[in-house]
Amino acid sequence: MSSRHSTWPVLLCIYNLPPWLCMKRKYIMMSLLIQGPKQPGNDIDVYLSPLIDDMKTLWNTGVDVYDAYKKENFKMRAMIFCTISDFPAYANLSGYSTKGKQACPVCEDETNSIYLKNSKKTVYMGHRRFLPPNHRYRKNTKEFDGKSELRRVRRGFDAFSRVQNMNTILGKRSRTEIRGNWRKRSIFWDLPYWKCLEV
């Protein structure tokens, strides 16, 4: 919080390697290093766009790569299948604000939250709804908030439908429209396969 400078590295891992290799430095590529006095915030898409362009090429046409073992060329294709970040950066990547009453991108407007007046913080409870329907904790009122939990896990929803028609303008004078906690149509949606992914 007190830092006067920000550095955000964007790393790519090759995931179709054995698990004991894919996390080695040799197989991790730093594709971007975003420098600045301030964090890129929602404008991170501007920095990501050359990377997304390359990823589109790797998906649509592929690139010629030399296989040193077979001593021949082959067409290499690649895709991004998930992103890993901390929760604040998740907001910048996904376009879903992870602050306030509706901070959970899975529960959206059904997020359970309580504002604690004295500590001035929003806390998130109500996790019993994720338990199996007959779990004994659901009926246990004494150990919890005095109520039994009858709600089930929220059904999945199509995140793309939330941002599909959103007019996203990035930059200093951005006047992007806001829909609930959705703040932008993330650049990841430009990848042709992004809406087919489960995560």
Give the footprint of Zn ion on this chain (CB under 5 A): 104, 106-107
Nearest to 113 by CA among 105, 102, 98, 128: 102
Between 104 and 170, whose beta carbon lies closer to Zn ion? 104
Between 12 and 104, whose beta carbon lies closer to Zn ion? 104
Between 76 and 114, whose beta carbon lies closer to Zn ion? 114
Tell the smallest beta-carbon distance from residue 122 to Zn ion (Å). Answer: 13
**DSSP string across 49-63:** HHHHHHHHHHHHT-E
Exposed / middle / buried, residue 95 (Cβ in 10 Å: 0-12, 13-18, 19+): buried
Tell the smallest beta-carbon distance from residue 52 to Zn ion (Å). Answer: 28
Cα–Cα distance list, 180 to 45, 99, 103, 162, 164 (Å): 20, 12, 10, 9, 14
Between 39 and 113, whose beta carbon lies closer to Zn ion? 113
Cα–Cα distance list, 20 to 23, 27, 69, 116 (Å): 7, 11, 21, 44
Return d(Cα 105, Cα 99) in angstroms, integer. Answer: 10
Tell the smallest beta-carbon distance from residue 104 to Zn ion (Å). Answer: 3
Tell the smallest beta-carbon distance from residue 87 to Zn ion (Å). Answer: 12
Q: Would you state the structure tokens that stand for residue 152, as one six-digit string?
A: 């089930």
Return d(Cα 150, Cα 128) in angstroms, integer. Answer: 9
Between 76 and 106, whose beta carbon lies closer to Zn ion? 106
